[in-house]
Amino acid sequence: MKKAGLIICLLLLIGCKSKTVTRDTEDLKIKQVPTAEVNANQQKKAYDLGKRVLETCNTSKFKPFNETEVTKSVMENTTEERLTKTCQRFRQYYGSFIDLKLDGVYRTKQEVIYRYHALYTKKVANKELRVFVNEDNLVSAIKSMDWDEKFDSKIQGQ
């Protein structure tokens, strides 16, 4: 009986041996893009769409995105109701939105990330807006987060 139990345990150990998984880390790498290499039209589009979202907090009017500007998931997730809820909180804590200041442009294998410092009227406001543009030149994500001087590449648009 003991021998049978020992043999079963050994077979389980051998059968459950983990495999080594190799992953192409090139897909995950984020590299900063020099200003000279940035597509001016794409940069303007990222700025305009990011600003449109944050200006909604000042005007309470949102011009919906269309399929030539953003991906379907961004269009579905950026609703007037969700923006209103977020804007109420932002206006209370940070004041009125002023403008976006480009801090850097980063590239992954699939998308370009525009990192903006969002400027508000209250001095305590220290927010960041990231606009992710995919290879089809559509905005694939818009993320707002607390500002950090160092770009944290672990926070991606996925």
pLDDT in tens, 114-130: 999 999 999 889 999 99
pLDDT in tens, 127-144: 999 999 999 999 999 999
pLDDT of residue 7: 63
pLDDT of residue 102: 95
Q: For the chain, which residues make up each domain, given as ranges? A: 32-144
117 vs 32, 33, 97, 104, CA distance in Å? 16, 17, 11, 10
Q: Which one, of 26, 43, 27, 23, lies nearest residue 110 by Cα?
A: 27
pLDDT of residue 101: 96
pTM above the 0.75 mark?
Answer: yes
CA angle 139-145-150, nearest 5°?
100
Q: What is the average pLDDT score of the chain?
A: 83
pLDDT in tens, 28-49: 588 998 878 889 999 999 999 9
CA angle 76-125-141, nearest 5°?
25
pLDDT in tens, 70-109: 999 999 988 888 888 888 889 999 999 999 999 999 999 9
d(CA 103, CA 149): 9
- CATH code, residues 32-144: 3.10.450
Contact between 105 and 35 (Cβ < 8 Å):
yes
